[in-house]
Structure formats: C-alpha cells, structure tokens
Chains A and B, each alone.
Chain A
Amino acid sequence: MKTKHLFIAFIITAIAQAFVPLKMVYDSEVTERTGTVYKFKTAPIDPEDPFRGKYVRLNYDMSSYPTNDTTWVYGEPVYITLKTDKEGFADIASISHQAPDDGTDYVVGNCRYSAKDKIFFSLEFDRYYMEESKAPEAETFYRSYNQNAENKKPAYALVAVKDGNAVLKDVIIDDIPIREYVLKERDKQ
C-alpha cells in the first residue's frame, strides 16, 4: 500500500478513535446542561473496575413496578417514564416496551425478571466513580449513616435526563455530595 493511502486509512482510524471519547463527552455534556435533573433514592456499595477504577455501585429504590404484563423477558430494555413525587424524588409514571415519543422524560432500565404482578429491573446509571481511597470509605460511612435512626434524610443520586440519555451528576448523602461527605467523616475520625 502506498504511504499516501496508508496515511489516509490511518487518519480515518484516528478520527474513529477520537470520535468515541469525544461523542461520550458531548452526549454527557448536552444531557447535563439541558436535561432535567431528578433525585433517585439510592444506597451506595463499593466495587471496582480494572480499567476505570473504583466506583460506588448504586442500589436504587426504583427497581420494580407493578404490572400484569407477562411478556417481559430477561435483558429487555424497560423504558421508564418519570414523574416527581410529593417529596421531590423521582418516581415512575409508567413503563413501556418502547421509548415514549411524546417528549416526556424517561430513563432506560434493564429487565431482571418478572413475577406474577410485578417486573424487576436495574437502572443503567448505577456507577459513580470515585477516587480509589474514597470509594470503599463512602460505603462504610453510608452504612453507619443509614444505621443511625436520627438520620431521616435518604441518600439520593442527582441524574440529568434528556431524550432517554441519563447522566449521573452526583450522589448526595445528608444534603452534601458524597465526596464531601467522605472528607467530613474522615475529619471526624
């Protein structure tokens, strides 16, 4: 192959290589800047990814919905239309096999299993990456926070939603971001 052709082929490869992370950045920025922010009640637990580092895995309260529909299958995407409840947290308005096209905010879940009158699913945005020493501490501190009966405020995730794309902005414990919460608890010890 001539150098010129080789170089053109390389430029195409290089553009594709740069396109992937740039598209990820663009989509996330657009959703964060222009999307609606919802609060999802959650509990953090700590696992790790060999390439992306440590993260707190979020166990959302929003994980099931009553339905008589028995056609749901494992792994199928669940389109969850959102509303806000009286306390200001995200709640399910309805679920569907297809993405709603009326402009309402929705997130995509993954069908785990369906019981007789209920469907169980997981939400996609369940990883909040943290600095490697803070992720395990976040879980420990949250557990002791949760065990304390005086703490009535639930932990929640701030999620920006736009056109089915969801960006996890932050996780809030006791009204402050999880990172600051970890630093505050560290100071106490």
Chain B
Amino acid sequence: MASSIIKQLPELVKEKVITPDTAKDIEHYYVTKQRDNGTNPLAIFGSIGGILTGLGIILLFAHNWDNFSRPVKTGIALLPLILFQISTGYALVKKKSQVFKEISGILLCFSVGASIALVAQIYNIPGDIGSYLFTWTLLCIPLVYLLQSNTIAVLSLILSTYYVTQTGYVTFQSGSPWFYVMFIAALLPYYLNLLKVKPNHNATNVFNWLLPLSLIIAFGAFIDGVQQLTIILYGLLLCIIYNIGMLPIFRRRWFLNGYSQLGALGITTLLIISSFRLVWQFDIAQSPEETVYYILALALSSISVGLSYIAHKNGEKLTVFNLAALIFPLIYFGYLVDYNIAFWLSNLAVLAVGVGCIQRGINTIDFKILNFGLVTITVLILCRFFDTQISFAVRGLLFLALGVSFFIGNYFLAKKKKETLNITNHEN
C-alpha cells in the first residue's frame, strides 16, 4: 500500500493537492515505517538464505563422508564454527550493519549445531536428540542478546519447542521439560523489549504467533499422568492465551494477534472434544489427580479471570471465550458429580460459543466471526451423529436448516454492511 501511495505523490504535487515538502514528508514517513516493520528485503532474504545455508551444512554433514579420515572430518566439523565465530566477532567489533550481524549469527547458530552433531557422528557418541537440542539451544541463546538478532530469537524458540517435544513426549526424560521453562524465561526479556520498542515489527508478529503456539505444544509435557483434568488444564491455559491477546498492546488486526486466534480456536476445539460422552464416561483415573494439578487449575483460572478484568477495564468487550475460564472448571465439577453433567455442559458450552460468535459477527459486521460460529455449530451437530442415534430424516432436516442458516446469516450480514456503508457515505 505504501509503495502505491509513494507512486501517486508526483501526480498529487503536480495537481497541487499537496506541496513538494508534504510529499517528501509522506515519503520519509513510509520509508521509516517500512524499515521499522522489518520489511527490509535484504534482511528478510538474507535471513532465509542464512537459515537454508545452515540447514544445508547440517544435512551435508549428516551424509557421513566416510572416505575422509577422522582428523579431516573433525577439522571439517569445527571449520564452519571457527569461521562464523570470527565473522560474528568481526561484525560486533566493527559495528557492521544489522543484516551482516543477523546473517553471520544465523550461520554461527547452525554451525554450533552442526559441529556437535558431526563430532557425535565421528566418535559414535551416544545421546538422544533431546540432549543434543538442549546443548545447541543453550549455546545459541546468548547470541540473541549479543547480536540483538530477531531470527536467532525465533530459531531459539523453535529449538526450545523441538527440545520439549523430544524430552516431554518422545523419550520421557523425567525432569527434563523444565529446561524449556528456563529457555523461555531467557528469551522473554528479548520478546518483551520487542513488544515495547518495535510492536509492529515483523519479528514481533512472528513471535506473537510462535510463542503461544510453543506454549500450547509444550504444556502437555508438564502434565504427564493427569487424566480427565488434562482437558480442563489445557482449556485454562488457552483461556490465558486468549486473554493475553485482549490486552491493549495486542490490539491489532486479527491475523497479527496469534494469542486471540489460537486461544479461541483451541478453546472451541477442546470444548468439542469434551462434548463426547466417551471422554468422561470411563473413569480411567485410578485415584484423584494430584493436589498440585488442582492448585495449578485454580491458578490458571484466576490469572485468566484477572486478565479478562484488565481487558474489560481497557474498554474491550468481553466474549464467550472470556467466560471459558469459568466454564472449564464448571464442567469438571459436573464430572465429579456425574459424567453426564460434564457431557451436557460441554455440549451447551460449544453451542454457546457458536451462538456467541454468530451474534458478535452480526453486531460487528464481521463475516469471519459469523462463519466461525456457524461452523462451530455444524461441527457440534456432526459430532453428535457419532454417539447418538438420530434418524436420517432428522439429520437431513438439521443439515438443511444449517445450510439455510449459512446463506441467511451471510446474506443479512452483507445487507447490513451495505446499509452501514450507505449511511456513512450519506453522512459524509
């Protein structure tokens, strides 16, 4: 958009709509803004090039060139590391451009991983991927701060997440997932600074999606052995993530707010899962869950309610997803009394999400929210076909009704949008 405005400037000056000085100011504004957004093509493609080259080095090493002697292979393993350490040191001392630092840092980051991998390969050193990723991530995180590198910060976040999936889900090393918390804690100051200084930067936007995604992936590694409470704990985590997205700092276009999108989608998915009788029917818990998990649920719920309150105070209109922080515990209490209560409550909650979204979609004239609500109700009905005996005639009628409601809902919203636009034009 900026480039099209800049292109029109000479014409506007020629037609004397704006003065040449204003044209210069506008051009300067967009150029600076673009730089601040991190849309500098050299930085983006340089980083992508760095990542691809780094991955290429690792894959080339992984081939295992057994024609070379061991000392030669060890030399090759350490060469990129030393080379990129020198170039990064040079970039730091000579205060080279951020692009230089970024690319050199990315290559150093990958050569750290490659050197450890190749030495392990040469000497057949035991160790699973988890321990390898741990060392690699640990040695890369300092570079984030030393080089102020966004790409290394994102890479470190990805490595940390990979690490937690390996140790938490694949090899079940007891205690190990906790190092993930350490990695995130180490990266958090950098991210918070990005939010403060460059809230609209590309890297900040990437983080706004990847961090909540990483937390969602990692959370399961910490609640090993929990039975029915898993859904509740996960639900409450998603409530927090959704509520973080409602804070004033994240007030931005929907596709730039990963917290709200992942939170809403996650809450709906979990409610749909818990709307199956099967989930609650079998009391697979041999004994009550450990007390620590009940305390965790209480803490997560309280944080979520607190965040909703802050959002409300800042003028945000609360949605059905804000209420989910209370709905999930309610479902669990229902389960403790009778599993049928949990089943019905979950179904009602999905229905509430669907209806709530349809209503909000209509009120805010937002097709995405309206259709999300309609899809939610459709999925709920589809799911109920699996565990209830409903005649074909009723199913047919239900689907007809749903299909018609899609048409009607979207038609009326389109009409409403048109009317609103007409009124605005008329007023102008």
Name the CB-closest residue of A to B138. A16
Q: Which of A45-60 contact B (CB under 8 A)?
A: 49-55
Contact (A25, B74) CB under 8 Å given A14-B89, A125-B124 = yes
Residue B15 is within 8 A (CB to CB) of chain A in the complex: no
Residue A98 is within 8 A (CB to CB) of chain B in the complex: no
The count of chain B contact residues (Cβ–Cβ below 8 Å) is 43
Q: How far, in whole Å, are A24 and B119 apart by their CA atoms in the complex?
A: 7
| Residues of chain B with a CB closer than 8 A to A128's CB | 124
Residue A43 is within 8 A (CB to CB) of chain B in the complex: no
Q: Once the chains bind, are B124 and A6 in contact (CB under 8 Å)?
A: no
Contact (A28, B125) CB under 8 Å given A129-B64, A132-B62, A179-B66 = yes
Q: How far, in whole Å, are A24 and B125 apart by their CA atoms in the complex?
A: 8
Q: Once the chains bind, are B64 and A131 in contact (CB under 8 Å)?
A: yes
Residue B2 is within 8 A (CB to CB) of chain A in the complex: no
| Residues of chain B with a CB closer than 8 A to A53's CB | 61-64, 121
Residue B123 is within 8 A (CB to CB) of chain A in the complex: yes
Give B99 Cβ to nearest chain A Cβ, in Å: 18
| Residues of chain B with a CB closer than 8 A to A21's CB | 77-78, 81, 115-116, 118-119
Q: How far, in whole Å, are A51 and B163 apart by their CA atoms in the complex?
A: 13
Q: Once the chains bind, are A20 and B116 in contact (CB under 8 Å)?
A: yes
Residue B179 is within 8 A (CB to CB) of chain A in the complex: no
| Residues of chain A with a CB closer than 8 A to B95's CB | 3
Residue B120 is within 8 A (CB to CB) of chain A in the complex: yes
Name the CB-closest residue of A to B126. A124
Interface centre among A14, A18, A126, A179 (most CB of B within 10 A): A14
| Residues of chain B with a CB closer than 8 A to A134's CB | 66
Q: How far, in whole Å, are A13 and B115 apart by their CA atoms in the complex?
A: 15
Give A96 Cβ to nearest chain B Cβ, in Å: 20
Mask: chain B, 16-40; 1 = CB below 8 Å from A; 0 = not: 0000000000000000000000000
Knowing that A16-B139, A132-B62 touch, tell me 7 more A-B residue pairs with CB under 8 angstroms.
Answer: A10-B146, A21-B116, A52-B62, A54-B64, A55-B121, A168-B124, A179-B66
List 22 A-B pairs, Cβ < 8 Å. A13-B146, A14-B89, A16-B142, A17-B81, A17-B85, A18-B81, A21-B77, A21-B116, A22-B78, A24-B125, A51-B117, A51-B129, A52-B121, A55-B124, A75-B174, A128-B124, A129-B64, A130-B66, A131-B66, A167-B125, A168-B124, A179-B66
